[in-house]
Amino acid sequence: MRYVSTRGEAPARDFPGVLLAGLAEDGGLFVPETWPSLAAAEWRAMRGLPYPELAARIVGLFTGGTIPEAALRRMTEEAYASFNHPAVAPLVQLDTRTFALELFHGPTLAFKDMAMQLLGRLFDHVLAERGERVTIVGATSGDTGSAAIEACRDRANIDIVILHPQGRTSEVQRRQMTTVLSSNVHNLAVEGDFDTCQDLVKAMFADAPFRREMNLSAVNSINWARVAAQIPYYAYAALALGAPERPVAVSVPTGNFGNVLAAWAARKMGLPIERLIISSNRNDILPRFFTANDMSARPVEPSLSPSMDIQVSSNFERLLFELLDRDPAATAQAMRSFRETGRMPVPDAAWQRAAELFRGVALDDAGTLEEMRRVHAATGWLPDPHSATATHAARALAPEDPAIPVIVAATAHPAKFPDAAEQAVGFRPALPPHLADLFTREERLELLPGDLAQVEAAVRRHARRNRA
């Protein structure tokens, strides 16, 4: 299995190459040269498998023999052993046809753990094989930092340094990062805001000698392996609900388009997903695209669902590439004009094909609170604000045939958003047992000014690479 860049100017790579590179050298995203596809009997044979086993089989279709089967199986078993539910990703029925797929039973209570827990282990495995070490650096406004830290903690060949804006994350978010006391985890609280942190990370990557010396790397959402590791849970849910004989639909709260792209990939691999419903908050660029071919960026506005406060959905480029019949020059051109004008021109015929499959709808904050209240009153199950946009979208945009079940991706535990929950239903959901003592755990962090030289010095102090 080889991977090509959506922009066509970077050499093809194998799975480990794509894993370590993240972004292609030409600025494009890696996609499989050809999509693996399974026959109905092969899907059926996976029904009822424990999640780690299913995940190893599906991810194994994308590794192209570069990772031994037994090693991959060990990694998925370890990755999902830390999850707080025996099913890993259980389904909860909300009405006759709507099912919440709970993706938040991992260590940080959000769906990013589903991919990141495996990614950290894949990184470590490939690095050990190559006798290499990396220093992962990243900036976070809250959630992605903790998922990355949990994924990389205690991995032998990785050091991770996460910058967060001092005093500007919630206490839960900060403590989820700073109470991880593993020797390869380093939290820098930077004076400034999220953009200060982001700029410092960009500057470190742009500092070529420093980048080389530290062997800097990132685990951001454009990494193909993250998408690959998100495909299994759609198969798991669809099989449980009767696929491949019975078609299903999915409803996914969408920001960077990674999660729903994984559902699209599952469909491409032969799973009968009839419809892909996306939801957003008031930052509604994606619903506007799928309803009116209007992909135009507007300023980002804060909302109750911060992980969707996004105007540029980086993984969308992978779908665009497919919509444009895998024409890398046309993809590069569309991305260039989006960057230059804030508007992405997509030919009508290509958009039509997308619109046949995808539906999208946005929900503002008041609607989100109302939806949280409604679902909780009707079922006793409380969605977090992100998931609430998706339960709403599932109701609004479900296929006409009521025999088609809708799988709603429940992307975060409601306890991660206690203020929104309190506004919606009048109580703050309890943290699950494994985080119950979060507020009394010891924290470790280093406070630094927003100064590149000082931040680089801190990274250099922490990176074991330097001392090997």
Ligand X SMILES: *Cc1c(COP(=O)(O)O)cnc(C)c1O
**Which residues contribute to the site for ligand X (CB under 6 A)?**
110, 112, 143, 221, 253-259, 307-308, 386, 411-412
Q: How far is the CB of 23 from ligand X (least distance, A)?
A: 16
Measured from the CB atom, the residue of 257 and 358 that comes closer to ligand X is 257
CA angle 290, 261, 17 (to 5 degrees): 140
Measured from the CB atom, the residue of 122 and 229 that comes closer to ligand X is 229
> Angle formed by the axes of helices 51-63 and 69-81, to 10°?
140
Measured from the CB atom, the residue of 177 and 463 that comes closer to ligand X is 177
Q: How far is the CB of 350 from ligand X (least distance, A)?
A: 21
Q: Using the 8-state DSSP alphabet, how is residue 321 labeled?
A: H
Burial class, 378, CB count within 10 angstroms (exposed 0-12 / middle 13-18 / buried 19+):
exposed
CA dist 16 and 374 (Å) reads 45
Q: How far is the CB of 147 from ligand X (least distance, A)?
A: 8
Measured from the CB atom, the residue of 189 and 276 that comes closer to ligand X is 276
* Sequence-ordered list of residues with C-beta below 8 angstroms from that of 281, at least 6 positions apart, any chain: 303, 304, 305, 308, 309, 362, 363, 364, 365, 368, 385, 389
CA dist 324 and 195 (Å) reads 33
Q: How far is the CB of 434 from ligand X (least distance, A)?
A: 18
What letter represents residue 78's amino acid?
A: E
**102, containing H or E segment:** strand 98-102
Q: Give SS3 for 236.
A: helix
Q: How far is the CB of 295 from ligand X (least distance, A)?
A: 15
CA distances from 270 to 98, 224, 415 (A): 22, 19, 36
Six token digits for residue 137: 């650096």
Per annotation, catalytic residue among 112, 202, 268, 416: 112
268 catalytic residue (yes or no): no
Q: How far is the CB of 96 from ligand X (least distance, A)?
A: 25
| CA 297, 302, 303, 305 torsion-angle sign | positive
| Active-site amino acid positions | 112
